Chains A and B, each alone.
Chain A
Amino acid sequence: MPVVDPAAEEAQSRAFLELYDTALPQVFGYLRARSGSEPLAEDLTTETFLAAVRSYQQRPGQELSTGWVIAVARNKLVDHWRKVATEERHLQLVADRTADQQSEEDEWIDGFGGTEAHAVLAGLAAQHRLALTLRYVDDLSVPEVARLLERTVQATETLLVRARRAFRQAYVATDQEGGDHAR
């Protein structure tokens, strides 16, 4: 039987719930702006905090900070879009489908990312959306993106080149539609 110190466990739980209260709007805001969907942001927020609890229980000494929970949230976002990317591959969707082909569930809601560019990003295939989000929306370095995607730096650079190309094509296509996203 492991030695359990109820007082220490209670203090740890209290500390974590305090972090929950401060980090929740940050985490939800992060996921909402990047996922473009309120229900999806709620699901990922739930997954994020429950995963953070498990991680904290395994390593109780670790520092509790909003930045750490955001990193967990980023992992959840990566996992989600990878799953979507796999589904897209299985459905044999074209990898670089454009904004006008986007499905209803991906529909961009005004005010999440804010700009026309974010609306275009939301319409890209999941793999491209993921790579560009990590590199540009989150402003991570290429090696950091590579680590999150579990790819080599070189493979990540190749992916980013393709993603940027898909983005530019979608952006031009949206422009030609009459720029109804523009503001």
Chain B
Amino acid sequence: MPAERDLFERLHLPASPVAPDPLFASRLRAQVAEALTFAATDAVDGPRPSDPPTHVPEIALGRRTTMSTSTPTPSPADSRAVDPVQTPAVRFENPSLVVRGGAAAVAFYQAVFGATISMEPFIEPDGRIGHVELDIGGAMVALADEYPEYQIFGPKTLGGTPVALGIRVPSPEAVDALVALAVANGAEVVIEVKDQFYGERAGRIRDPWGHEWMVHGLNEQLTVAEMQDRFEAEGGGLPPTDTE
């Protein structure tokens, strides 16, 4: 057995780079590149559990508190070894539309909104679209047929939708043009196109599958205070034709 000091000094290891498996290296690189696309403000945890985050968004704190009440609090001795529950960074990805008759709906969105197919549809043996991704004006919108066996229904089956999807066009005139095109392709008008108190020309349509779209074009850039003034000048409420 070597002398005491030698024994422990022999443990020292200098830096010794080792290239990991190339597949592992490229996958992790992609993961790192993806993580970097999340905005700095989305990050809530640092490299060290013991290093308190300098800034934790309110919502993350709220959720953490909720979760900690439902799980037993670790004793102080254990707490250092337990990973704290962290709300991961999130980014809104896309809406997923459910329709009865997927193929025809895709054709409608192509004809009216100029949608392009960004991911080819996955088609079930029975002809239903399981998943297709559209690019509508730069945003990804997923679409699928109804799946009653999974409790997945479109607005026609459900009798309406509480959600409106926003579409912006470059001018007030284009609002009228787009709504006319949608109507020509079978949509109905829910809110007539008009100049709204908030400085935009806008109208709401319901497409043949029951999804609703609010079409906006900018008239004039207003502050919130100016919007409030105009809202009150108009009588403090929307005219009856604007409510549904």
Contact = CB atoms under 8 A, between A and B. Distances in A.
B20 A58 contact: no
Contacts, number: 136
> Main SS of chain A's interface residues?
helix
Contact of A42 (B9, B12, B17, B20): B20
B150 interface: no
A54 B51 CA distance: 12
B35 A150 contact: no
Interface string B149-175: 000000000000000000000000000
A32 B46 CA distance: 23
Contact of B20 (A2, A28, A114): A28
Contact of B18 (A2, A32, A57): A32
Contacts of A118: 11, 13
A73 to B, nearest CB: 10
B16 interface: yes
Contact of B1 (A29, A53, A175): A175
B15 A26 contact: yes
B32 A53 contact: yes
Interface in B67-82: 78, 80-81
A130 to B, nearest CB: 12
Interface in B15-63: 15-21, 24-25, 28-29, 31-33, 35-50, 53-55
Contacts of A139: 12
B10 interface: yes
Contacts of A29: 15-18
Given A29-B15, A117-B11, A72 B37 contact: no
B225 interface: no
Given A13-B36, A33-B13, A115-B10, A54 B47 contact: yes
Nearest to B55: A58
Interface residues of B, number: 46
B8 interface: yes
Contacts of A26: 15, 17
Interface in A75-124: 75, 79, 82-83, 85-86, 113-115, 117-118, 121
B39 A50 contact: no
Nearest to A82: B81
A169 to B, nearest CB: 11
Contacts of B16: 29-30, 33
Name the interface size band of chain A: 35 or more
A136 B9 contact: yes
B47 A51 contact: yes
Interface string B68-104: 0000000000101101000001000000000000000
Interface of A: 2, 4, 9, 12-13, 16-17, 20-21, 24-26, 28-30, 32-34, 41-42, 45-46, 49-55, 57-60, 72, 75, 79, 82-83, 85-86, 113-115, 117-118, 121, 132-133, 135-139, 150, 164, 167-168, 171-172, 175
18 contacts: A9-B39, A17-B32, A24-B19, A24-B25, A28-B17, A30-B16, A42-B20, A45-B20, A50-B35, A57-B40, A59-B54, A79-B83, A82-B80, A121-B11, A136-B12, A137-B12, A167-B7, A168-B7
Given A30-B16, A75-B48, A167-B7, 16 more contacts: A12-B36, A16-B32, A26-B15, A28-B17, A29-B15, A29-B16, A51-B48, A57-B43, A58-B40, A82-B80, A83-B81, A86-B78, A86-B81, A113-B13, A115-B10, A137-B11
